[in-house]
Amino acid sequence: MLAQFGYGILVVTFVVALYSVTAAVFGYFNKSASLVESARRSMLLTFPLLSVAALSLIILLVQGDFGVQFVYEVTSKSMPTYLKVTAWWGGQAGSLLFWSWLMSAFASLATLRKWDRDREFLPWVIVVANVTLAFFVALNIFFENPFARLYQTFDGNIAAYTFAPANSMPFAPADGRGLNPLLRHPGMVIHPPMLYLGFVAYVVPFAFAIAALVTGRTDDRWIRITRRWSLWAWLFLSFGLVLGGRWAYDVLGWGGYWGWDPVEIAAFMPWLTGTAFLHSVMIQEKRGMLKQWNMILIILTYALVIFGTFLTRSGVLSSVHAFAQSAIGPSFFIFIGFTFVTSVGLLIYRWADLKAEAEMKSMLSREALFLLNNLLFMSVLVVCFWGVIFPLISELATGQKVTVGPPFYERANSPLFAALMLLMGIAPLSAWGHSTVATLGRAIWKPGVFAVGITLLAYATYTHNVIALIGFFLVALVILVTLYEFWRGARARQKTQGESFFAALARLTGRNRRRYGGYFIHISMMLMAVGILGIELFQKETQGTVQAGGTMELHGYTLVYKDIAQWDDFASGVNYTRAVVQVYKGDQLLTELHPRTDYYYESQQNMTIPGVRSTIADDVYVLLVDWEPASAIGATFKVYVNPLVNWLWVGSLLFLMGVIIAAWPEEEREPSAVRAKQNAHQTSAAD
């Protein structure tokens, strides 16, 4: 009954969303404020409706109603309650409903803002948000119904149906299959919601962009309204990516965090255009330039958000044939095509209205360097996009399946990332409007000299690897330039306001949150880069089989295999095998690690949980690969030493802080007045 009720609510939501779109369009063309208001209220209604649908599904999951196919596939009696709730996004149908629910929440939040100054945008924001919402709800209604029930027909077949077929009986298995063990990790519990939050949040800036194109209000108002939305979307997406990396490191048992897997890249691509957009909108705000380009970037970001969901949900990655057989794949394809062509058509229609208000005066100006940054982000996007779709093209054209793996991406992207880091070091020192080699040189030489000094120190004490040294130089340069910017700003404030240095620093950051939050983000990115350089260039590994009391050596560490134990946890349906390994450096016992293998009876799946000793210098990461129950031969361990990897996680925490600073609300200033003032001074001092 609850399942039918939930499905009914989905149908009602779909109808409400379609009504909202229709009312908004008619309201706009007939200049009927009441129709637009009706559309707005309908849009607000979608959130409580989808919340009821979601709640129905959660109750079914928690109660363990295994007669519902989705519940049967992702839960089991032995799972703890919190995992039964998070199993909501542990399968296709549920995750699509989760997407829709988040989408309606964000769209509702957007429509609750004050619309006094931007009333003309409202109907088109509603149209875009609700067309997207209606599409995802339709996927649930027509193809992936999370409320579909299992029925047994008289010929003995068991299948899921939305409505009971003739001559059939409801079928309810005694227990479910249980959630994929890999998805039971806390990182995986939070990772999908973060990614989805990032995805749906990007729909809001896109909706405003389309509203601006339709209404012809092509100034930077849409950018100013959605600035914070874009930052939060970027934060969620970034954090989703980092959490995914942490999950891979903790659960997948290969000693790494990022494998250039197409699913990872699917989430990374909108992040690339989103990051380019964050930088590029600043040029429009400050200089009234790149209006067309910003539209292209937000259209691309939206398309890649949908494309990313399509890649992971349609089965196209495993094979083009799986895609053709998948129910939702072609629908996604049509939707992406429709939204992309419509958006580009609108952009072409308004192309002439989106001309720049100022000219580019110098190749070294801040805006020119930002544009170069955009080119680099787009280049990484090209590499990633092509790497993901080439296997599909190859399979379609020749029938041959090929893999595009890490060596391809790393070779192509490493120089692009290095160039981005260099820009991160130079751009903060350049001025809006005009910069020369001389002015940049004067600003950069001090941090540059220190960066060279740090690189020489790294050469003398840590590594002679040229790529690592280039990386360390760039990291040092960016961090020093950024700290120098903080110092210069605080000193200037100290002199003019008579404040203490730290008070000046705090007020400086508080009054220019986006700029200094951005600098925090730059520093955090560099800390993450140290982690990436460490694990990519200096990772050591070995594998061996040792008897109890035997030792393994790696990179100055000695590992002593002490013991192994095996037991069943019948309540959770897991068999645990846990080894005890002591880690020594010389004669000093550092720690005792417990790498283990968890075998899940329901899904007949193994999970390899590493034992890890983490320090800021490195991680000793031990995996129990194999063992003999009779302990006749011993156990096989795979050991990694991952230098500097924790800088990646520390950097990601600082990154979070930086985005919160940058996105924190501040008083809105009149754009035209601000730009007029800036244009008057643009050729003088650096911003």
Partner 1 sequence: MNRTLRNTQYAILLILILAALLAIPVAAQGTNPPTDDDVNAVAKQLYCPVCENTPLDVCPTQACAQWRDLIRLKLSQGESEAEIKQYFVDNDGASVLKEPPREGLNWLAYIIPPLAILAGAAFLFGAFRRMKKPALAASAQSPEVDASADEYVSRLEAEVKKQR
Contact residues for partner 1, defined by CB under 8 A? 252-255, 259, 261-262, 289, 317-318, 356, 359-361, 363, 368, 371-372, 375, 378-379, 382-383, 386-387, 390-391, 393-394, 397-398, 400-408, 412, 541-545, 606, 608, 626, 636, 638
Q: Which helix (H) or strand (E) holds 599?
A: strand 596-600
Three state DSSP letters for 251-268: HHCCCCCCCCCHHHHHHH
Q: Which amino acid is at 146?
A: P
Question: Minimum Å distance from CB 664 to partner 1?
Answer: 33
| Smallest separation, CB 256 to partner 1 (Å) | 9
Min dist CB 366 to partner 1, Å, is 14
Distances (CA, A) of 211 to 116, 218, 345: 15, 9, 13
Q: Which is nearer to partner 1, 88 or 640 (CB)?
A: 640
Nearest to 106 by CA among 82, 136, 83: 136
Q: Which is nearer to partner 1, 32 or 608 (CB)?
A: 608
Q: How far is the CB of 421 from partner 1 (least distance, A)?
A: 17
Smaller CB distance to partner 1: residue 162 or 318?
Answer: 318
In 3D space, the residue among 627, 607, 565 whose CA is nearest the CA of residue 182 turns out to be 607
Give the number of residues written for the chain: 687
Torsional sign, CA 384, 385, 387, 388 = positive
Shortest CB 374 distance to partner 1, Å: 8
467-474, long-range: CB < 8 A, 24+ apart? 467/414, 467/537, 468/533, 468/537, 468/538, 470/418, 471/418, 471/421, 471/529, 471/533, 471/537, 472/530, 472/533, 474/418, 474/421, 474/422, 474/425, 474/529
The Cα 238–Cα 268 span in angstroms is 9
Query: How far apart are CB 606 and partner 1 at their closest, in Å?
Result: 6
| Minimal distance, residue 263 CB to partner 1, in Å | 8
Task: Give 342 or 543: the residue with its C-beta nearer to partner 1.
Answer: 543
Q: Shortest distance, CB of residue 226 to partner 1, whole angstroms?
A: 24
> Read out DSSP for 312-341?
HHSSTTT-HHHHHH-SSHHHHHHHHHHHHH
Query: Shortest approach of partner 1 to residue 621 CB, angstroms?
Result: 12
DSSP conformational letter for 555? T
CB of 1 to partner 1, least distance (A): 39
Nearer to partner 1, 160 or 283 (CB): 283
Which element (helix H / strand E) includes 580? strand 574-585
Closer residue to partner 1, CB minimum distance, 32 or 379: 379
Residue number with CB closer to partner 1 (566 or 683): 683
CB of 633 to partner 1, least distance (A): 13
Cβ-based nearer residue to partner 1, 122 or 364: 364
Quick count: other Cβ atoms within 10 Å of Cβ 549?
Answer: 10
Q: How far is the CB of 532 from partner 1 (least distance, A)?
A: 18
Helix (H, G, I), strand (E, B) or coil at 642: strand
Least distance to partner 1, CB of residue 419, Å: 11
Sign of CA dihedral 192, 197, 198, 203: positive
Q: Single out the residue of 553, 576, 557, 554 nearest to residue 565, CA to CA.
A: 576
Least distance to partner 1, CB of residue 599, Å: 11
Q: Do 366 and 432 meet the contact criterion of CB atoms below 8 Å apart?
A: yes
With respect to partner 1, which residue has the nearer C-beta, 422 or 483? 422
Rounded CA gap, 440 and 192, in Å?
43
Task: State the sign of the Cα–Cα–Cα–Cα dihedral 481, 484, 490, 496.
Answer: negative
Rounded CA separation 494/492 (Å):
5
Whole-number minimum distance, CB 406 to partner 1, in Å? 7
Amino acid, single-letter form, for residue 162: T
- Strand 605-609 with 158-161, pairing: unpaired
Residue among 181 and 330 whose Cβ is closer to partner 1:
181
Q: Is the Cβ of residue 193 or residue 610 nearer to partner 1 in the bound state?
A: 610
Nearer to partner 1, 335 or 432 (CB): 432
Spatial distance between the Cα atoms of 299 and 292, rounded to a whole number of angstroms: 11
Q: How far is the CB of 294 from partner 1 (least distance, A)?
A: 14
Closest CB to partner 1 among residues 27, 256 = 256
Nearer to partner 1, 213 or 276 (CB): 276
Nearest CA among 301, 239, 273 for reference residue 521: 239
Q: Which two tokens stand for residue 59?
A: 């109750």
Residue 356, SS3 per DSSP: coil
**Which letter, b or e, does each residue of 261-288 get, where b requires 16 or more Cβ atoms within 10 Å of its Cβ?**
ebebbbbbbbbbbbbbbbbbbbbbbbbb
DSSP string, 43-79: HHHHHHHHHHHHHHHHHHHHHT-TTBHHHHHH--TTS
Could you tell me the two tokens for 512?
Answer: 């220019």
Which residues make Cβ contacts (< 8 Å) with residue 205, sequence separation at least 6? 222, 226, 229, 230, 233, 277, 298, 301
